[in-house]
Amino acid sequence: MKKFIPLSTFLFGIFALFSCGKTTTISSNMELTGKWELQSIVQNSDTIQKPALAKGQMPVSLNFKEKGELEGTTSTNIMTGFYETAQQNTIQLGGGGTERAETQWGNLFVNALPNVNLYDLKMNRLVLYYENNNQMIFSRVQ
Q: Is residue 44 part of a domain?
A: yes
| Of 103 and 12, more confident | 103
Express each pLDDT in 37-88 by its tens digit.
999 999 988 999 999 999 989 999 999 998 899 999 999 999 999 999 988 8
Write out the residue range of the structural domain in which residue 94 sits: 22-140
CATH classification of the domain holding 103? 2.40.128.270
Q: Is residue 108 part of a domain?
A: yes
Q: Is residue 8 part of a domain?
A: no
Q: Is residue 80 part of a domain?
A: yes
Q: Is residue 66 part of a domain?
A: yes
Average pLDDT, the chain: 81
pTM here? 0.77
Q: Is residue 45 part of a domain?
A: yes
In the chain, the number of structural domains is: 1
The sign of the dihedral angle between the CA atoms of 54, 99, 42, 87 is positive
